[in-house]
Amino acid sequence: MNHLILLTNDDGFFSEGIESLFRYLKDLGQIYIVAPDREKSATSLAITLRRPLRVKKIKANVYAVDGTPADCVYLARQKLLPKKPSLLISGLNRGPNLGQQDISYSGTVAAAIQGTFLKISSIAVSLLPDENHEYFYDFSAKIVHLIARKLLEDKLPENVTLNINIPPPPFRGIKIVKLGQKRYNPKIIEKTDPRKKPYYWIGTGNPKAKGDKDSDVFVVKEGYMTITPLHTDMTDYQAIQHPIFKNILKSMTDEAS
């Protein structure tokens, strides 16, 4: 078996979600973990440019990096893995990544997108808790095993990343859906340090789901697992034809002439 699967996340190499994947995917090939040495949530595609990165080998095939999820993918591909991965899985994330806002901030999704940039079939997997705030890691790892097995047989389309959200069991089924929106109104908390200088915490608030009823933020509430294909080309081709851009070009051309 020649497959190599890279696991990463933004929760840290020690997280229960990534450990579940490490256990359940071993029959599919070589499994490596290259993940942050601490939580790196909401770092998006940030990479570390102004300080050196440190890597610690925790045990066979498991590495902790003092950087971002995107850093981890770069290091894994260029320095830590014996060959290019057949598949990259980012997760299992503790908490959902739903809607346009979540995927823009998420380190979990960003790690998978970074894998796609490097021509690796990549997926991000996030979990929703049940009403008792319990997460079902082993249950979800078994589902990811089925998805991974199929993706090892048939690669994703070029430039496409899968964003997957798994609700607690028993869920009603699986739907391929578009992104909705989660509108955040974060509360800024101001406090004072012992030297009487102000500092601030940005909270997440209670986001409200917006968008079409068949988008991920609503479908997952109905008990469905959601899969959303994300494309790395963020160009709005329809907007290119909008009159505003023609007017901008015309005004700039007139000004220059």
CATH assignment at residue 244: 3.40.1210.10
Instruction: Check pLDDT > 90 for residue 186.
Output: no
- Do 81 and 142 contact (CB within 8 A), yes or no? no
Please state, for a pLDDT cut of 90, what percent of the chain lies above it.
81
Decide if 190 is inside a domain: no
Segment 244-255 shows an average pLDDT of 85
- Model pLDDT for residues 45-95, shown as the tens digit of each residue: 999 999 999 999 999 999 999 999 999 999 999 999 999 999 999 999 999
Structure tokens at 191: 């406090």
Decide if 193 is inside a domain: no
Decide if 37 is inside a domain: yes
Segment 17-45 shows an average pLDDT of 96
Decide if 199 is inside a domain: no
Decide if 79 is inside a domain: yes
Query: Which residues form the domain of 248?
Result: 4-182+209-256
The residues, any chain, with a CB within 8 Å of residue 179's CB and separated by 6 or more, are 98, 99, 100, 103, 163, 211, 215, 216, 217, 228, 230
Query: Does the global pTM surpass 0.85?
Result: yes
Instruction: Check pLDDT > 90 for residue 147.
Output: yes
Decide if 49 is inside a domain: yes
Decide if 187 is inside a domain: no
Instruction: Check pLDDT > 80 for residue 1.
Output: no
The total number of structural domains in the chain stands at 1
Decide if 195 is inside a domain: no
